[in-house]
Structure formats: C-alpha cells, structure tokens
Amino acid sequence: KDAQKEREPHVYLSKEEVKEKIQSYNSSVTDKLKMTLNANGIYTGFIKVQMELCRPITVHSSQSQGRCVPSNQETAFYLPDGCVNTLHISSTNTVREVIEALLKKFFVADNPAKFALYKRCHREDQVYTCKLSDREHPLYLRLVAGPKTETLSFVLREHETGEVMWEAFSIPELQNFLRILDKEENDQLQILKNRYAAYRGKLEEALRGVLKPG
C-alpha cells in the first residue's frame, strides 16, 4: 500500500536522548554497521538503500590505472531489480544529499531530480511505502526505527509524476533509450515473424495433403 507522505511529527531529541538511542541501536546491530556520536552532537552511521528503478540508468564508463574515475563515455542499462547499496552518512545529510551521494558513488550520470527516496514501513501486517521530502534526514529515521530493515527500509525510485519528465534527460540518454526501444521492437518483430512463418508452414503442409491426388 502506497501513501504519498505520512504526516508524522518530527521529534527533536536532546543530546542525551540521542546518546541513549545510539547506545540502544548499537546494542541491537547484527551487521557491525553501528552509529557514532561526535562531540558536536552530530552522529554518523549507515543506511541501506534498495534500488527499484523501472527505466534504464546512464553511468560513466570508468577505468584508469586501477582507479575508478569518471570519463566522457556513458552507457545506459537496466539495473537489476532488488539491488541494495550501503551508504555512510551523517545526521545532517538530507534526502536530496543522500540521493546525490548514492548516484555519485556509482558514477550514475542521470539528473538526481529524476529520483525520489521512499521509506518502507511494516505495521500491523501491512506494508506502507511513503515518499520522503527532500529536507528529511534518513539517518534520524534509521535511528528512531532501529536497525531492523523489517521495521524500516529505504527505496530509491523514479519520481511518480504520472508522465516521464523527458526534459530532465540529456540528448545521449534519450538516444540510448531510442536504441533500446529499437532493439526491443526488432526482437518482438522477429518473434512475430517466426510465429507466423510457422503457422504458414503448417497451413501449406495441410493444403498439400488435402490437394494431393488419389
């Protein structure tokens, strides 16, 4: 069940409350991805983001003496469904910054404005997927919910605007999409041709049997 945005009040925690929650959080962590509280009150930690993208993404091809560096070459492809990435962020990082960091980490060339971050919550045997605003802080949500992804998880999706925002795509991206569509169209056309060729062969064989003398 999807909801565009849950109206939940943001609870502002004192430094002592944050410290207690981090201690409780770290005591429940099973994957060693713990949080750290700094002297200035800012805390850091990890979030996992599941990629649920329907359209192909464009990435920089990268190779340079064993180091990954962006290049001018770009490739478009469909990301495997269910791919999960881990990010190390701070409590001050907003949703928009998390999206930008996630795309930068994997050299994704697409405009960050194409994407939105969602939180997926499990409550009373139901699943709610809610779009987060750009100003929210994912690590705070992770801290409050605890480390279990069954309780709260993050999902990256394209914006659900009802229509594709083609103006957000670059010319190379659009050209790559056209090439992908052309390939899919040709594949489907070949499948249809093969199917009808098989039908034609069977009909001609049947006709030869009916018209054969004797």
Q: Which residue has the higher pLDDT, 198 or 59?
A: 198
Q: What are the angstrom distances between the C-alpha of 136 and each of 7, 16, 140, 181, 200?
A: 12, 21, 9, 37, 61
- In percent, the amount of the chain with pLDDT more than 90 equals 32
pLDDT digits (tens, 9 = 90+) for 91-116: 999 999 999 999 888 788 888 888 99
What does the pLDDT read at residue 161?
52
**Cα–Cα dist 120/62, whole Å:** 33
**Strand blocks (E) in 29-125:** 36-37, 43-51, 57-60, 74-77, 83-90, 115-123
Question: Is the pTM higher than 0.85?
Answer: no
Structure tokens at 210: 């009916």
pLDDT digits (tens, 9 = 90+) for 176-190: 778 877 888 888 888
Beta strand pairing call for 126-131 and 115-123 = antiparallel
CA–CA separation, 110 and 168 (whole Å):
8
Please give the average per-residue pLDDT across 170-181, as a whole number.
Answer: 77
Selecting from 3.30.40.10, 3.40.50.620, 3.30.420.60, 3.10.20.90, what CATH number does the domain 15-162 have? 3.10.20.90
What per-residue confidence (pLDDT) applies to 107? 82
Task: Give 81 or 1, the one with higher predicted confidence.
Answer: 81
Strands 115-123 and 83-90: unpaired
Q: Flag whether pLDDT at 38 surpasses 80.
A: yes
Tokens of 133: 């605003």
Q: What is the mean pLDDT of the chain?
A: 81
Kindly tell me if the per-residue pLDDT of 139 is higher than 90: yes
